[in-house]
Chain A
Amino acid sequence: MTNTYEPVIGLEVHVELKTNSKMFCGCPADHFGKIPNTQTCPVCLGLPGALPVPNKRAIDWCIKLGLALNCTIPKESKFDRKNYFYPDLAKGYQISQYDKPLCVNGWMQINERKIRIRRVHQEEDTGKLQHTIVNNERLTLVDFNRCGVPLVEIVTDPDFHTIDEVDQYVKKLQRIIRYLDISNADMEKGSMRLEPSISVRPVGIVALPNYRVELKNINSFRFVRKAIEYEINRQSEMLDKKETIVQQTRGWNESKNVTLLQREKEEAHDYRYFPEPDIPPMQFTDEFVGSIRKQIPELPDEKKQRLMEKYTVSEATAEILTQSIPLADYFEQMVAMSHISATVLANALVNQSVDIQHVRPEEFLDLINKKQQEKHVDSGLVMIAIETVLTSNLKAVEDYKKGKTTVLMYLVGMVKRELKGKGDATIIEQELKKRLV
C-alpha cells in the first residue's frame, strides 16, 4: 500500500421509512419477513391502469430529516420518472426526484470537518430479487412486497478522506434518523443501505479524480469498511502501475474478501428523467416548513453537549447515554428523582444492563440505593481495614511512594476484601491517598 495517494469518498445512503403504508399506495410498508407477494396492490404491482398517489407522512418525514441535516427546503419540488428495465422494477420506471429534490445543501459536522450533504430526496423502493437453483435450473424469483416502500436518499459530496470519517458519519446519521423516529435504520434488515463511491488521487492534488467506483449491495457496515479499504488499496496499486481506472460498480465478496465487478451492463444508464405526469408538483410555504421543524426533537449533538454541561458527565459517557432519546430521558428522570450524584447514576446506567422499557427509573434507583447501602460501612471500620492492609502490604506502600500509582487499585481491592466486599471503592481510594501522603 503506497501512501502517496489519498482516498476521495462520497456516500449515498438509502433509508426505508417506517410509515404505515407504502409511498404511493395503501399497502403496508412493513415488509420484512412477510410471505412473498402478499402485500401488493395494482399500484405497487405496476398493473395496467394503476396510478400513484403520494404518502403525505413520508414527504413530511423526508423534509424533517433534511432539516435535521441542516438542509434548505426549496419552495418547489416534484417527482420525476427514472426509466430503466429490471424484473424487480414493476412499472419499468422508479418514481424518484431528479432536479427539484425536497432538500438541498445540508451538512454534518464530523469532528473538525463539515461533510456537505448535497441532497435528501424521496423515492420508492423496488421489489426483491432472489437467485436460486431448482431442479438444476437457474431461476430468478421476484417478491414485490418491498416494491413501493418509501425510501429517502441522502447524498454527500465526496468529502470523506478516511474510513473513520465514513464510520462516524454513518453512526451519527443512524442516530439522528432514530431520534426522528422515521426509520429503524437497521443495516442487517436492509432499512439502511450504504453505497460508497471511492476514488484516489495523489496527495496534494485538489481536483476530483475523473472516475469513481461505486460499491453496492453490501449489507453490513463491517463489510463496507473492508470493501472501502480493499478498494483504496486496489486503486492505489493500479495508479502505481499507471493503469486507467474505469468508472464502474462493484460488490463485496465475503468469502474471498475482495471487491468484484458486478455483472451488470457497464454502459452508463440513460435514465431519461422527465417530470412524473401522474403526480402534481409540490409547493411548500414557510409556515409548513416551520411546522415540520418544530417536530424535530433535541438532536444527538445538542443533547450530548447539554448532558455534559448540565451533569458534568464525560464525553464518552454522554456519547453512550445519547444512543437513544429514551435512554437519555431515563437518565435525566433518574437524576431528577434522586440525591445520588449524576455521575454515579450515569455510570450505573452505562455499566449495568437494564431493560429501560420494562424497569421504571424509580425501580432502577431503588436497586442502586440498595447496592449503595449494602456497600455502606461504618467509616471507623473502613479506617481500621485500611490500617490493616497498609501494615500487611509494606512493599506495595513502598512502590506507591516510589511513584507506582497503579498499586493503589490493588490496595483498594485488598481493603474491600478485608471489609468482605462492603464499602465504597471511591471513598476507600480517597482515604488511602490521604494516608499515603
Chain B
Amino acid sequence: MQSKKTSIDVSHIAKLASLPLTKEEEELFSKQLSSTLSYVQQLGEVDTKNVEPTAQVTGLMNVFREDSIVPGLSQEEALKNAPGQHNGFFKVDSIF
C-alpha cells in the first residue's frame, strides 16, 4: 500500500494529461512527485468518518441564468488567436 501511494506512473499520467515529456523530465518528475506524494500521505491520519467532502465553500445552491441570447464573438474575434485556420474553421493537425 505504501509503495502504491507514493509512486506515480509518470508516463501513463503524462499520456492522460496530454503532456509530452522527455525521458529526463520523466525521471526528474518521478522523483519530485514521489516526494510530494509521500508528504501528502499524512492525510490518511485524519479521521474523516462521516465527514462530507467540501466542493463549494460558499454554501451557494441553485445558481442559474435565464434562457436568453446574449451577443458573443464575431467569427474574426473567435479565430483571432488561432494557430491555424481555414475558411472560418479552426485548423488542426489531422487526427483520425
A-to-B contact residues, CB < 8 Å: 19-21, 25-28, 35-42, 44-45, 53-59, 78, 85, 87, 130-131, 134, 138-144, 263, 270, 272, 275, 277, 279-283
Contacts and interface: CB of A to CB of B under 8 A. Distances in A.
A35 B88 contact: yes
20 contacts: A20-B68, A25-B70, A26-B65, A27-B70, A40-B72, A41-B72, A44-B72, A55-B67, A56-B64, A58-B67, A59-B64, A87-B92, A130-B89, A141-B90, A141-B92, A277-B55, A277-B56, A280-B60, A281-B61, A283-B62
A40 B91 contact: no
Given A26-B69, A54-B65, A37 B94 contact: no
Could you tell me the dominant secondary structure of chain B's interface residues? loop
Given A40-B72, A142-B92, A280-B56, A57 B78 contact: no
Contacts, number: 118
B73 A140 contact: no
Given A57-B67, A281-B61, A85 B91 contact: no
Contacts of A42: 73
A56 B67 contact: yes
Nearest to A132: B86
Interface string B5-20: 0000000000010100
Contacts of A28: 69
Interface in B71-96: 71-75, 78-79, 86-96
B75 A138 contact: no
B42 interface: no
B66 interface: yes
A318 to B, nearest CB: 35
A138 B67 contact: no
Contact of A21 (B58, B70, B74): B70
Q: Top 8 closest A-B pairs, CB basis? A: A26-B70, A41-B72, A141-B89, A56-B64, A57-B67, A280-B60, A138-B94, A275-B55
Contacts of B60: 280
A55 B61 contact: no
Contacts of A54: 63-65
A41 B65 CA distance: 16
Question: Interface size class for chain B?
Answer: 20 to 34
Contact of A134 (B61, B78, B79, B86): B86
A38 B75 CA distance: 5
B70 to A, nearest CB: 3
Interface in B26-76: 55-56, 58, 60-75
A392 to B, nearest CB: 71
Given A37-B89, A37-B90, A130-B89, A55 B65 contact: yes
A75 B39 CA distance: 38
A108 B21 CA distance: 50
A27 B73 CA distance: 9
A280 B63 contact: yes
Interface of B: 16, 18, 55-56, 58, 60-75, 78-79, 86-96
Could you tell me the dominant secondary structure of chain A's interface residues? loop
A26 B89 contact: no
A303 to B, nearest CB: 28
A44 B72 CA distance: 10
Nearest to B58: A280
Given A21-B68, A142-B89, A85 B18 contact: yes
B64 A55 contact: yes
B68 to A, nearest CB: 6
Contacts of A39: 72
B80 to A, nearest CB: 10
Nearest to A142: B90
A20 B90 CA distance: 25
A143 B89 contact: yes
A37 B86 CA distance: 11
A91 to B, nearest CB: 13
A41 B73 contact: yes
Contact of B78 (A21, A45, A272, A283): A45
A138 B93 CA distance: 8
Contacts of B16: 270, 272
Contacts of A280: 56, 58, 60-63
Contacts of A55: 64-65, 67
Given A53-B63, A280-B60, A140 B69 contact: no
Contacts of B62: 280, 282-283
B91 A140 contact: yes
Contacts of A131: 94, 96
Contact of B89 (A25, A36, A53, A57): A36
Nearest to A134: B86
A270 B18 CA distance: 13
Given A37-B89, A142-B90, A263-B96, A27 B72 contact: yes
Nearest to B72: A41
Contact of A144 (B63, B69, B78, B92): B78
